[in-house]
Amino acid sequence: MFYFMPELPEMENYRVLLTDKVIGKQIEQVIVNRKKSINVSIEQFQKKVVGYKITKIKRRAKHLLFILDSGLTLVLHLMLGGVLFFRKEMDKPNRSTQIEFVFGEERLFFIGLRLGYLHLLEQKDLAEKLISLGPEPLESSFTVQVLTKLLKSRRSILKSLLVNQSFISGIGNCYSDEICFETGILPMRKGNELSLEEIEKLHFSMQQVLTQATIYGGYMDMPLYVNDILTGGYDDRCKVYDRGNEPCLRCGESIIQDKISSRKVFYCSHCQL
């Protein structure tokens, strides 16, 4: 099994699909199999979650925020390898679960939470936790001017900047490569050396790639529920990510798989400048 770190499109896909499934339903039971995945005692966690309803699911960067009708928020970060399943208990996947929420006959399974977590927080602690995150790339306030200012303030290479959550939120290994490819620039270019024209292209590609990836259900191909045909639909649409040695879809040359500061990176050295 390959482990992936879900990024903005994958979490946004989960947010939309889960909103349909769990909003307004009472959480009847909570099973915690891994104490390390939560931030309070199991007893406290159950006491403050069981009997409450999720009124809204929001996303900030790669986190999902489950807002409870008590005013508390459950903050989920799947990190590397975490996935969600929403099924009847009999349809439960053959993997150990770290946390389960029971809604009548159906359950939300949290799986692969080794580094990932589900923390219960009050408003003020939530704000504090999210304060260091950079801007959301799909918000209308994230303009070319904002991106230009950000890029001019750093000397790092594009790959490192794009995956840095305090620089921009929600982008990871997959979409940083896809965005650079779409823009036609190399991921090892320095952010502060891009021309205004390149920054405009980068800004446009960011919106383009992240929006399309979200529409097609992201690249993690494990269905959230039975008959979920949306999740993972972008996997086959990635143009460079995980396509090392395969022909570039734009120019036909081989895609290069490399490592930059211990991160996997994929690009075409022929048509990315």
- Phi-psi category of residue 53: left, alpha or beta, with phi > 0 → left and psi -120 to 50 → alpha: beta
- Work out how close the CB of 136 gets to Zn ion at its nearest, in angstroms, rounded to a whole number: 30
Tokens of 145: 């001017």
From the CB of 239, what's the least distance to Zn ion, in Å?
A: 9
**Judged by CB, which is closer to Zn ion: 126, or 174?**
174
- Angle made by CA atoms 134, 155, 214, in degrees to the nearest 5: 40
Question: Between 193 and 246, whose beta carbon lies closer to Zn ion?
Answer: 246
**Residue 53 a catalytic site member:** no
Q: Show the 3-state SS of the chain.
A: CCCCCCCHHHHHHHHHHHHHHHCCCECCEEEECCHHHCCCCHHHHHHHHCCCEEEEEEEECCEEEEEECCCCEEEEECCCCCEEEEEEHHHCCCCCEEEEEEECCEEEEEECCCCCEEEEECHHHHHHHHCCCCCCCCCCCCCHHHHHHHHHCCCCEHHHHHHCCCCCCCCCHHHHHHHHHHHCCCCCCEHHHCCHHHHHHHHHHHHHHHHHHHHCCCCCCCCCCCCCCCCCCCHHHCCCCCCCCCECCCCCCECEEEEECCEEEEECCCCCC
List interacting residues with Zn ion (CB under 5 A).
248, 250-251, 268, 270-271
CB of 177 to Zn ion, least distance (A): 13
Q: Is 263 tagged catalytic?
A: yes
Choice among 21, 250, 263, 264 that is catalytic: 263
Q: Which of 59, 62, 107, 189 is catalytic?
A: 62
Nearer to Zn ion among residue 127 and residue 251 (C-beta): 251
Least Å distance, CB 213 to Zn ion, is: 20
Task: State the nearest-atom distance from the C-beta of 147 to Zn ion, in Å.
Answer: 24
6 is catalytic: yes
Nearer to Zn ion, 71 or 252 (CB): 252
**Closer to Zn ion by Cβ: residue 185 or 248:** 248
**Residues taking part in catalysis:** 6-7, 62, 263
